[in-house]
Structure 1
Amino acid sequence: MSQIGFYGLGSMGTGMALNLQKHLQDTKQPNLRYSNRTLSKGDCLKAARGIEEPDYISLVKSCDIIFTMISNDKVLNELVESALSTGSISGKIFVDTSTVHPNTVARASEKLTKAGASFVASPVFGASAVAAAGKLIFAMAGPKDTTEKLKPLVLNVMGRSIIDLGEEVSKSSMLKIAGNVMVIGLMELISEVQVFAEKVGLGTATMEGMIADMFGPVAESYSKRLTTGAYAPPHGTAPGFAVSLAIKDAKHAISIANDHDMRLNVSEAALSHMLNARAYAGESLDSSSMYGTVRHESGLPFWTENSRQSS
């Protein structure tokens, strides 16, 4: 049996790793080995009988398949170099589930493949609550025999579906970035609509009801991130998807669009609003915190009665 490893225990990775560990236990496979920059974030995995490794290099040495969920391109580049420094990695499988630039995953694949390993780029769609529920959507690209081997570890374990992008790893990252254009744009639009509803006297509850009836549960869930105050959660409470990660994703999308002679005007507006929100209220905000900026620009307080009240 293959030994599975997981690195990166942020708000997304923790839920994914816990679901993976449960699956391994249920199917009587070796317990998940895990590591993280801050090891204490793995205490819940340890309680679930996961096995702690002191660092990423130790994890690579002890595992055959290594999943990663990290914050940005720089970290992925560092992990690739760390893996290459461990000695022989021939036959190992590296699966990155993060959102990074297509060029970054292409370089990672080239380096790891040259060393005899396999690399699969499989960024995921869904926020932390979706990860905890095991309902993520995986956009997967890599060698066919490798992706087939991974499917039993993903379907009905960490994810509800897999979008097969073939063997060109950059395509999965490109699809994820395209999806983020939709998500970020929708959050920007709903923020404007909800502020409009409040300013003209319709009220956010009325508008949210219309959004649910007209556009369905996905749009309604984005609206609820605003109306419940989740766009600015209490200090010490992790956001559903951190604003700094959304800023990184928006910058990737805008940069790629510019390289192809087009503008993403809505994404640019959303990026500006997220940057202003972070400057006003700090890092511990959700990606939907553009709502606070739109409120502030419209003469309303950045905060609502349901959000926290300070930066």
Structure 2
Amino acid sequence: MKIAYLGLGIMGSGMVGNLLQAGHSVTVWNRTPDRCTPLVEKGATQANTPAQAVANAEIVMYCLSNEEAIADTVFGEDGILSGVHQGQIAIDMSTVHPNTSRREAVAYAEKGVEFIDAPVFGSKNESATGGLWIVVGGKKEVFEKVKPILEPLSETIHYMGETGMGATMKLVGNAVVISQIEALGEAMILAKKAGLNPQDVLDVLHVTDFKSPIFDGMGSTLVKRDFSTSFALKWLLKDANLIAQLAQDNNSPIPAIALARETVKAAVNHGWGEENASAAIKALELQAGIEIK
């Protein structure tokens, strides 16, 4: 299959590697061209513009950082929409507001191109190993066509309904993630201030009926003071803002998530936005006057 893949951050680079390993012909593009080099060395072809990247593709895939990147890469000059043609299928794997997905679907339909929104759960390791969890919105028959393309990238794939429902599910899932990060930070700080050993606490959290992979992974990095980036804190804030917008759109209460969003915002404002999402807990540590270690 001829695939164009645009956006080679932590997530996109891993996905392209798995597409190449699955035997697909992949043309890549990234705003920072140097990021294409390792994938070209593995057999990908590099394009100079989004329009050039998608010109000869059967499937157009992209994972972009935010709504502004979608505006530039999809709708902008020499963007994807200026290069696509009838018969292609576009797959947006970015985390965006569902209204953005719906806007994309309308624009692609005018070009005779089918569209699905297919954001992913997981981060650096899952992207590299084909272990992502993908949630999809769009026409069911289009989903069935592209499912074999998504399978080498994923542990599971979930069809959620019409256009925008994949994007909606991603924000709902990230609401849980943000809440868990806040809960982990508050609980670990309380434990430390009350005299418990943080590693002993993590050992208990690992085996209880409320255990969580997020508690395991982030808890360990907190104790080690390792905030190397798998998913940047600044993107967690972006997602928290999108969740707040979605909640407002639906008149849905999110008091706990709103509180967690303020923690994330404070951490970004302290200059930790490029660090891992677990750096949000540093803002709570500042309030407490301790570090979890």
Q: How far is 1:143 from its partner?
A: 2.2
How far apart in 2 are the matches of 1:42 and 1:250? 30
165, 168, 171: which one aligns with 2:165: 171
How far apart in 1 are the matches of 2:9 and 2:33? 11
Q: How far is 1:227 from its partner?
A: 2.4
Task: Check whether the contact 2:51–2:81 (CA below 8 A) recurs between aligned residues.
Answer: no
How far apart in 2 are the matches of 1:169 and 1:286? 31
Q: CA RMSD in A?
A: 1.6
In the alignment, structure 1 segments of 5+ residues that lack a partner are: 234-238, 306-311
Letter in 2 for 1:71: S
Task: Check whether the contact 1:83–1:89 (CA below 8 A) recurs between aligned residues.
Answer: no
Which residue is 1:247 aligned to?
Answer: 237
Runs of 4+ in 1 over 3 A off after TM superposition: none
Which residue is 1:109 aligned to?
Answer: 105
Which residue is 1:130 aligned to?
Answer: 126
TM-score (norm 1): 0.88
How far apart in 1 are the matches of 2:145 and 2:176? 31
Equivalent residues, number: 288
1:258 pairs with 2:254: no
Letter in 2 for 1:299: G
Q: 1:228 to 1:132 in 2, by over 3 A?
A: farther
Q: How far is 1:141 from its partner?
A: 1.6
1:200 pairs with 2:194: yes
Which residue is 2:135 aligned to?
Answer: 139
Which residue is 1:161 aligned to?
Answer: 156
Alignment deviations for residues 212-266 of structure 1 (CA, whole Å, 9 cap, x no partner):
0113351322322422323x33xxxxx1111111111111111221233333122
Q: How far is 1:84 from its partner?
A: 2.5
Letter in 2 for 1:19: N
Task: Check whether the contact 1:254–1:263 (CA below 8 A) recurs between aligned residues.
Answer: no
Which residue is 2:287 aligned to?
Answer: 297
Which residue is 1:236 aligned to?
Answer: none
Q: How far is 1:164 from its partner?
A: 0.7
Query: Taking every aligned residue pair, what percent have the same amino acid on both sides?
Result: 26
224, 231, 241: which one aligns with 1:228: 224
Alignment deviations for residues 117-155 of structure 1 (CA, whole Å, 9 cap, x no partner):
011100001111111111001101222232112111111
1:253-292 equivalence runs, <5 A:
253-292=243-282
In the alignment, structure 2 segments of 5+ residues that lack a partner are: none
175, 180, 187: which one aligns with 1:186: 180
TM-score (norm 2): 0.93
Task: Check whether the contact 1:247–1:275 (CA below 8 A) recurs between aligned residues.
Answer: yes
Which residue is 1:36 aligned to?
Answer: 30
Which residue is 2:8 aligned to?
Answer: 9
